[in-house]
Amino acid sequence: MSLVVVGTDTEVGKTVVSAVVLGRYARRRRLAYWKPIATGAEGETDTGLVRRWIGHRVEVLDEAYLYAPPVSPHLAARLASRPIEPEVILSQLVQHGLDDPLRNLVVEGIGGLHVPLTSQGYLLSHLLKDMHLPCLLVARSGLGTINHTLLSLEAIRERELSLAGVVMVGPRDKENKAAIEKYGDVKVTAEL
Protein backbone atom coordinates (compact mmCIF):
# COMPACT_ATOMS: atom_id res chain seq x y z
CA MET A 1 0.00 0.00 0.00
CA SER A 2 1.31 3.45 -0.91
CA LEU A 3 1.51 6.23 1.68
CA VAL A 4 2.64 9.82 2.20
CA VAL A 5 5.22 10.69 4.85
CA VAL A 6 4.25 14.09 6.26
CA GLY A 7 5.70 16.13 9.08
CA THR A 8 4.68 18.44 11.85
CA ASP A 9 7.20 20.91 10.42
CA THR A 10 10.25 21.12 8.20
CA GLU A 11 13.44 19.23 9.12
CA VAL A 12 11.64 16.79 11.45
CA GLY A 13 13.02 13.65 9.81
CA LYS A 14 10.61 12.87 6.96
CA THR A 15 13.43 11.81 4.64
CA VAL A 16 15.00 9.51 7.23
CA VAL A 17 11.63 7.95 8.05
CA SER A 18 10.91 7.51 4.33
CA ALA A 19 14.24 5.69 3.91
CA VAL A 20 13.57 3.50 6.96
CA VAL A 21 10.11 2.54 5.65
CA LEU A 22 11.57 1.78 2.23
CA GLY A 23 14.36 -0.31 3.76
CA ARG A 24 11.98 -2.17 6.05
CA TYR A 25 9.60 -3.26 3.30
CA ALA A 26 11.83 -3.44 0.21
CA ARG A 27 12.26 -7.21 0.51
CA ARG A 28 8.53 -7.88 0.51
CA ARG A 29 7.27 -5.33 -2.02
CA ARG A 30 8.29 -3.39 -5.07
CA LEU A 31 8.72 0.14 -3.79
CA ALA A 32 9.53 3.57 -5.10
CA TYR A 33 10.31 6.86 -3.38
CA TRP A 34 8.89 10.10 -4.71
CA LYS A 35 9.12 13.63 -3.34
CA PRO A 36 6.99 15.59 -5.81
CA ILE A 37 7.97 19.05 -4.51
CA ALA A 38 11.36 20.01 -3.11
CA THR A 39 13.06 23.28 -2.27
CA GLY A 40 16.63 23.87 -1.12
CA ALA A 41 18.17 22.12 -4.12
CA GLU A 42 21.39 24.10 -3.84
CA GLY A 43 22.90 21.21 -1.85
CA GLU A 44 22.09 17.51 -1.84
CA THR A 45 18.35 17.00 -2.22
CA ASP A 46 16.19 14.61 -0.21
CA THR A 47 15.79 12.58 -3.40
CA GLY A 48 19.58 12.44 -3.70
CA LEU A 49 19.92 11.30 -0.09
CA VAL A 50 17.34 8.54 -0.51
CA ARG A 51 18.98 7.48 -3.78
CA ARG A 52 22.35 7.26 -1.98
CA TRP A 53 20.98 5.53 1.12
CA ILE A 54 18.61 2.98 -0.40
CA GLY A 55 18.48 3.50 -4.17
CA HIS A 56 20.09 0.11 -4.71
CA ARG A 57 16.95 -1.56 -3.26
CA VAL A 58 14.11 0.66 -4.46
CA GLU A 59 13.29 2.89 -7.38
CA VAL A 60 13.79 6.60 -6.76
CA LEU A 61 11.64 8.91 -8.88
CA ASP A 62 12.51 12.47 -9.82
CA GLU A 63 10.68 15.47 -8.38
CA ALA A 64 7.87 17.13 -10.31
CA TYR A 65 9.01 20.51 -8.95
CA LEU A 66 12.53 21.24 -7.74
CA TYR A 67 13.58 24.73 -6.64
CA ALA A 68 16.98 26.03 -5.50
CA PRO A 69 16.19 28.35 -2.57
CA PRO A 70 15.38 26.75 0.81
CA VAL A 71 12.05 28.56 1.25
CA SER A 72 8.35 27.72 1.29
CA PRO A 73 7.18 26.03 -1.94
CA HIS A 74 4.83 28.86 -2.94
CA LEU A 75 7.65 31.41 -2.54
CA ALA A 76 10.21 29.23 -4.34
CA ALA A 77 7.75 28.80 -7.21
CA ARG A 78 7.15 32.55 -7.38
CA LEU A 79 10.87 33.36 -7.31
CA ALA A 80 11.49 30.86 -10.11
CA SER A 81 8.46 32.07 -12.14
CA ARG A 82 7.42 28.43 -12.29
CA PRO A 83 4.19 27.93 -10.35
CA ILE A 84 3.25 24.61 -8.82
CA GLU A 85 0.25 23.08 -10.56
CA PRO A 86 -1.42 20.51 -8.29
CA GLU A 87 -2.98 18.82 -11.33
CA VAL A 88 0.50 18.02 -12.64
CA ILE A 89 1.42 16.29 -9.37
CA LEU A 90 -1.84 14.35 -9.27
CA SER A 91 -1.43 13.35 -12.91
CA GLN A 92 2.11 12.12 -12.22
CA LEU A 93 0.85 10.17 -9.19
CA VAL A 94 -1.66 8.39 -11.43
CA GLN A 95 1.00 7.80 -14.08
CA HIS A 96 3.38 6.31 -11.52
CA GLY A 97 0.60 3.89 -10.60
CA LEU A 98 -0.06 3.01 -14.21
CA ASP A 99 3.65 2.55 -14.96
CA ASP A 100 3.85 -0.29 -12.43
CA PRO A 101 0.52 -1.30 -10.83
CA LEU A 102 2.33 -3.67 -8.43
CA ARG A 103 4.70 -0.99 -7.13
CA ASN A 104 3.93 0.89 -3.92
CA LEU A 105 5.01 4.50 -3.46
CA VAL A 106 6.46 6.17 -0.40
CA VAL A 107 5.70 9.81 -1.14
CA GLU A 108 7.47 12.45 0.95
CA GLY A 109 5.67 15.68 1.69
CA ILE A 110 7.30 19.07 2.14
CA GLY A 111 7.29 21.17 5.30
CA GLY A 112 4.25 20.90 7.56
CA LEU A 113 0.67 20.03 6.67
CA HIS A 114 -0.44 23.58 5.98
CA VAL A 115 2.56 24.83 4.01
CA PRO A 116 1.28 26.77 0.96
CA LEU A 117 2.03 25.26 -2.43
CA THR A 118 0.43 27.97 -4.55
CA SER A 119 -0.14 31.69 -4.14
CA GLN A 120 -3.88 30.98 -4.43
CA GLY A 121 -3.88 29.26 -1.02
CA TYR A 122 -3.66 25.60 -2.08
CA LEU A 123 -1.91 23.94 0.86
CA LEU A 124 -0.07 20.64 1.22
CA SER A 125 -3.10 19.40 3.19
CA HIS A 126 -5.28 20.07 0.13
CA LEU A 127 -2.90 18.02 -2.02
CA LEU A 128 -2.95 15.19 0.52
CA LYS A 129 -6.75 15.16 0.42
CA ASP A 130 -6.65 15.01 -3.39
CA MET A 131 -4.07 12.18 -3.34
CA HIS A 132 -6.26 9.82 -1.28
CA LEU A 133 -3.25 8.15 0.37
CA PRO A 134 -2.77 7.39 4.07
CA CYS A 135 -0.42 9.72 5.94
CA LEU A 136 2.43 8.69 8.21
CA LEU A 137 3.04 11.67 10.51
CA VAL A 138 6.63 12.40 11.57
CA ALA A 139 7.20 14.49 14.72
CA ARG A 140 10.20 15.58 16.73
CA SER A 141 10.58 13.92 20.11
CA GLY A 142 11.69 17.01 22.07
CA LEU A 143 10.28 20.19 23.51
CA GLY A 144 7.38 21.66 21.52
CA THR A 145 6.39 18.39 19.92
CA ILE A 146 3.17 17.91 21.88
CA ASN A 147 1.63 21.11 20.52
CA HIS A 148 2.92 20.61 16.96
CA THR A 149 1.84 16.98 16.85
CA LEU A 150 -1.62 17.60 18.31
CA LEU A 151 -2.20 20.46 15.85
CA SER A 152 -1.07 18.24 12.98
CA LEU A 153 -3.33 15.40 14.11
CA GLU A 154 -6.21 17.88 14.31
CA ALA A 155 -5.47 19.05 10.76
CA ILE A 156 -5.33 15.44 9.51
CA ARG A 157 -8.68 14.66 11.11
CA GLU A 158 -10.28 17.93 9.99
CA ARG A 159 -9.34 17.15 6.37
CA GLU A 160 -10.55 13.55 6.87
CA LEU A 161 -7.17 12.16 5.85
CA SER A 162 -6.30 8.58 6.70
CA LEU A 163 -3.63 8.33 9.40
CA ALA A 164 -1.21 5.42 8.98
CA GLY A 165 0.64 6.22 12.21
CA VAL A 166 2.92 8.60 14.09
CA VAL A 167 6.71 8.32 14.20
CA MET A 168 8.76 10.32 16.70
CA VAL A 169 12.33 11.22 15.71
CA GLY A 170 15.06 12.14 18.16
CA PRO A 171 16.05 11.18 21.70
CA ARG A 172 13.33 9.10 23.33
CA ASP A 173 11.03 11.11 25.56
CA LYS A 174 8.50 8.89 27.30
CA GLU A 175 6.53 11.87 28.69
CA ASN A 176 6.08 13.50 25.28
CA LYS A 177 5.16 10.15 23.74
CA ALA A 178 2.60 9.48 26.49
CA ALA A 179 1.08 12.96 26.11
CA ILE A 180 0.78 12.62 22.33
CA GLU A 181 -0.85 9.22 22.67
CA LYS A 182 -3.25 10.38 25.39
CA TYR A 183 -4.28 13.80 24.10
CA GLY A 184 -3.97 12.89 20.43
CA ASP A 185 -5.91 9.65 20.88
CA VAL A 186 -3.29 7.88 18.78
CA LYS A 187 -0.61 5.20 19.17
CA VAL A 188 2.96 6.24 18.39
CA THR A 189 3.94 3.68 15.77
CA ALA A 190 7.70 4.00 16.10
CA GLU A 191 10.51 6.02 17.68
CA LEU A 192 13.74 6.63 15.76
* Bridge-based pairing state of the strands 59-60 and 188-191: unpaired
CB-CB contact of 46 with 35 (8 Å) = yes
- Gap between the Cα atoms of 183 and 180, Å rounded: 5
Among 14, 35, 174, 177, which one carries the catalytic annotation? 35
* Of the candidates 101, 169, 109, the residue with the CA atom closest to the CA atom of residue 134: 109
Class of residue 103 by CB neighbours under 10 A (exposed 0-12, middle 13-18, buried 19+): middle
Residue 35 a catalytic site member: yes
Selection from 129, 95, 128 nearest residue 111 by Cα: 128
CA distance 165 to 138: 9
Amino acid at 17: V
For residue 180, give the nearest of 4, 3, 8 by alpha carbon: 8
Catalytic residues: 35
